[in-house]
């Protein structure tokens, strides 16, 4: 088992650097998908609820939704509950449970952040963090895309749906064109698989299938929309959605981590912290952690709990 290496001297330095960025925390794509419920590289238009930790690389455009509810216990992390590299603008951003919020820019009126435990603006280094997260997750998408399929879709509920059944003890890979997802229902059976990785090709994708799968299975499933530039999910979805090139729009709950270039949110995103394994997941990527994050780790006693979960 390999471990996340964090320079302990950063804990001391952070006390003197305030909001200045430190060098780096080493996070793999596996760890990013575990710690975050939402990662958006660009702007996020908020019109529903994000139930887990969120990182927005552009602006957070407030609306009728809320960020980081009290419905789930967030996995340990050195990051704030809500991080916005740009500005918070245009409307209300509601939080719950005394959430911590870090903003690289400013809160631009009439934008507001409500009910947070702490709000920091002008946090340095978040643009660098956003760029590294983007590079790490784009590489993860390419790595998944390049895996040879070892399983296929099978019929479910007669001719009504498609089903993916995992290979026991193995990383299960399925590849399919978006237009072939043409049946009314989808179902996933984990079947003891380490993880299920589903590559979906296509650039402009609109999906509105009925999902029969238990939401908890989402912790071990990734839908890799590796070439999509536009992705609309109109119905309940189970599994993390990795769409690093796409503007994503949803109209119902996503049970897993969402990664997108931009996000027009119309349905909830529910935390199912990633527990599977990605190809190349033992190779760390430098994702810088804001200095305030080191202080948060120290105050929460979370540093010992931050480790890589991959076993080989």
| Termini Cα distance of the chain | 6
- Per-residue pLDDT band for 309 (boundaries 50, 70, 90) equals very low
In a domain, 40, yes or no: yes
Among 220, 218, 225, CA closest to 255: 218
- Contact status, residue 308 vs residue 94, Cβ threshold 8 Å: no
The reported pLDDT for the residue numbered 67 is 93
What total of structural domains would you count in the chain?
1
In a domain, 52, yes or no: yes
- Contact status, residue 288 vs residue 125, Cβ threshold 8 Å: yes
- Per-residue pLDDT band for 25 (boundaries 50, 70, 90) equals low
| pLDDT 10s digits, 157-172 | 999 999 999 999 999 9
In a domain, 190, yes or no: no
Q: In which domain, by residue range, is 300 found?
A: 1-148+226-312
Provide the 8-state DSSP code for 73: P
DSSP conformation letters of 90-120: SSEEEE-SS-EEEESS-EETT-EEES-SEEE
- Per-residue pLDDT band for 287 (boundaries 50, 70, 90) equals low
Please list the residues that pair with 112 across neighbouring strands: 92
The reported pLDDT for the residue numbered 13 is 32
In a domain, 155, yes or no: no
In a domain, 198, yes or no: no
In a domain, 274, yes or no: yes
Q: Which runs of consecutive H residues, i.e. helices, occur in the chain?
A: 9-17, 29-35, 126-145, 291-300
CA angle 201, 39, 92 (to 5 degrees): 125
CA torsion sign for 7, 20, 29, 80 is positive
| pLDDT 10s digits, 55-89 | 999 999 999 889 988 889 999 999 999 999 999 99
In a domain, 180, yes or no: no
In a domain, 216, yes or no: no
């Amino acid at each position: 088992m390999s471990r996340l290496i964090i320079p302990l001297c950063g804990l001391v330095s952070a006390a003197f650097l305030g909001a200045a960025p430190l060098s780096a925390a080493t996070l793999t794509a596996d760890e990013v998908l575990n710690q975050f419920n939402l990662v958006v590289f660009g702007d996020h238009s908020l019109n529903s609820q994000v139930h887990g930790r969120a990182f927005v690389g552009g602006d957070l455009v407030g609306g009728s939704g809320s960020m980081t509810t009290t419905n789930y216990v967030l996995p340990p992390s050195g990051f704030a509950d809500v991080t916005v590299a740009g500005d918070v603008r245009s409307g209300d951003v509601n939080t719950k449970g005394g959430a911590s919020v870090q903003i690289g820019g400013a809160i631009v009126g009439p934008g507001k952040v409500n009910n947070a435990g702490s709000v920091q603006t002008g946090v340095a280094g978040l643009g660098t963090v956003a760029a590294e997260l983007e590079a790490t997750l784009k590489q993860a998408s390419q790595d998944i895309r390049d895996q040879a399929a070892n399983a296929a879709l099978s019929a479910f509920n007669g001719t009504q749906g498609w089903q993916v059944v995992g290979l026991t003890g193995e990383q299960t890979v399925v590849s399919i064109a978006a237009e072939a997802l043409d049946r009314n229902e989808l179902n996933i059976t984990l079947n003891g698989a380490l993880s299920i990785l589903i590559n979906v090709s296509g650039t402009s994708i609109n999906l509105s299938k009925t999902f029969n799968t238990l939401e908890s299975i989402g912790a071990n499933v990734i839908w890799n929309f590796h070439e999509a530039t536009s992705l609309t999910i109109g119905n309940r979805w189970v599994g993390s959605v990795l769409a690093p090139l796409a503007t994503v729009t949803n109209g119902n709950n996503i049970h897993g981590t969402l990664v997108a270039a931009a996000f027009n949110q119309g349905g909830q995103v529910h935390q199912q912290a990633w527990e599977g394994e990605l190809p190349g997941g033992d190779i760390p990527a430098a994702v810088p952690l804001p200095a305030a994050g080191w202080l948060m780790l120290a105050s929460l006693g979370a540093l010992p709990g931050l480790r890589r979960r991959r076993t080989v």
